[in-house]
Amino acid sequence: MKARLVDHVATFFFWLGACIILVLLGVLVGYVLFKGGKWLDLAFITRPPENLKAGGGVGPQLFNSFYLLVLSMLFTIPLGVGAGIYLAEYAGSGDVNPALALPRSKRATNYLLAALNLSIETLASLPSIVVGLFGLLVFVVSTGWGYSLMAGALALTVLNLPVMVRISLEALQAVPRDLKEASLALGASRWETIWKVVLPAAFPGLVTGGIITAGRVFGEAAALLYTAGMSSPVLDFSDWNPLHPNSPLNPFRPAATLAVHIWKINSEGLIPDVRRVADGSAALLIIVVLVFNLLARWLGNVLYRRMTAS
């Protein structure tokens, strides 16, 4: 009787915690959409911002957010998944003790694993403002690029890489061992097993990692203030040459994202309709993140069914 009562109480608190999270999310999203949704129209979404007069939009900032996402993911996903594959398939569990009396080659591997795990944990605990200052010194000043999308993408890669590595590692370790052994027993090499068996089976978890890191790209502002900048040149959408200074595809131009634009107009904005632009930008950012998550989940499920023939 006592065990059943404890089970019911624990179940109640689990449901209560889940409901509280859903209610908080619903209240937050509903409030932002209620305050800013009324300002959203095609002109606001496509028009460039104004510096002094009313009536501006967030078209370049929205484009910059998606372009920065693509650039950042080009670095984050291969590095994160690659490190996860190494830790899960080649280095064992990663729980190592370099002081063990092992052969020299094994001790070297253990020291490498210990250094890798320490680096991942340290990077994961760094505040975004510290990553932004690091990006300012390395990607902005040392490279001579100045404030640019590329500097912002590399800074966000440093910020998101630990998350992507950990999620990839957990997704790969969750693949049943029987699948790997069956593939190896049929004559497949280790790499063929990883590429054709392990990665497709771990694909849903890898998609989750990509969505989480993408969400951080959309919402990050502190690191981008020091790397990508707070302003954008006048973009010429008729010129898609990435080497042209005003081309939208030029990765070495300064670019303010939606999150940075919201911070800027709230702290330094001189336009008379600052409240309209701030509320509309926040609502648009929420909608973009929600739509992106839903589309990424849908596309991930479609690819997973095709990869696994299920």
Q: What's residue 101's pLDDT? A: 45
Q: What's residue 267's pLDDT? A: 83
What is the spatial distance between Cα 216 and Cα 167, in angstroms, rounded to a whole number?
14
What is the spatial distance between Cα 163 and Cα 213, in angstroms, rounded to a whole number?
7
- Establish how many alpha carbons lie within 13 A of residue 296's alpha carbon, considering only the half-sphere containing its beta carbon: 19
- pLDDT-flagged residues of the chain (< 70): 1, 92-108, 308-310
Q: Count the Cβ atoms, other than its own, within 10 Å of residue 149.
A: 27
Q: What's residue 270's pLDDT? A: 79
Residue with tokens 């509903």: 30
Q: What's residue 258's pLDDT? A: 92
- CA torsion sign for 203, 208, 211, 217 is negative
Q: Does pTM surpass 0.75?
A: yes
Q: Count the Cβ atoms, other than its own, within 10 Å of residue 250.
A: 22
Q: What's residue 310's pLDDT? A: 60
